[in-house]
Amino acid sequence: MKFSPGLAALLLALSPIPADSVAAASQVSVSTPASASASASDSTLVPASTGRGTPRAGPVPALDWSWPLSPRPAVLRAFDPPDRPWLSGHRGVDIAAAHDRAPLISPAAGTVSFVGTVVDRPVITIDHGNGLRSSFEPVASSFTAGSAVAEGDVLGQVQAGHCGPGPPCLHWGVRRGEDYVNPLAFVMDLRPSVLLQPLDAGP
């Protein structure tokens, strides 16, 4: 499918696709989103949905974070923020722990900003700088607020109970300022797939 120069310019302005991929937009066809598994280091921008009443908060840097559980966990419940802040939704992701008391690994360097109980669950929050904070629950941790952590440090142990009587799981939420963003955007490439038309070889 070919685009007019005007439409190509509009796509360049609005698309989260890097500019070098849209430079020849008249030759680009965009498909529906595909399952993504590439590392975040493969991208420069990723979409970011929020849970503060706006469907999009704009692109966030695709930092090369690590998964907070090892081996790479299955996603049990996806990020599903509400359309309005006061509505119900899922402002993070639930990921499967390999076993009860599985070690929680810091996905990026930062400073512990909170350790304590929220409602009835033990929570730890890491401030990664640049307005980004990760929160994890339920996690038992011996850290205290103000402690510096490096990527890969063990922050605590995942506790049972968040996913009911089934296998233990971890709830991971990420905020940018006051906006909730998709944690998977920091460990996976969530951009839509782009299909390029074959070059015309000529007669």
- Look at residue 53 and tell me whether its pLDDT is greater than 90: no
- Tens-digit pLDDT profile for residues 137-170: 999 999 999 999 999 999 999 998 778 777 789 9
What pLDDT score was predicted for residue 200? 64
Q: Which of 80, 101, 121 is nearest to 167 (CA)?
A: 101
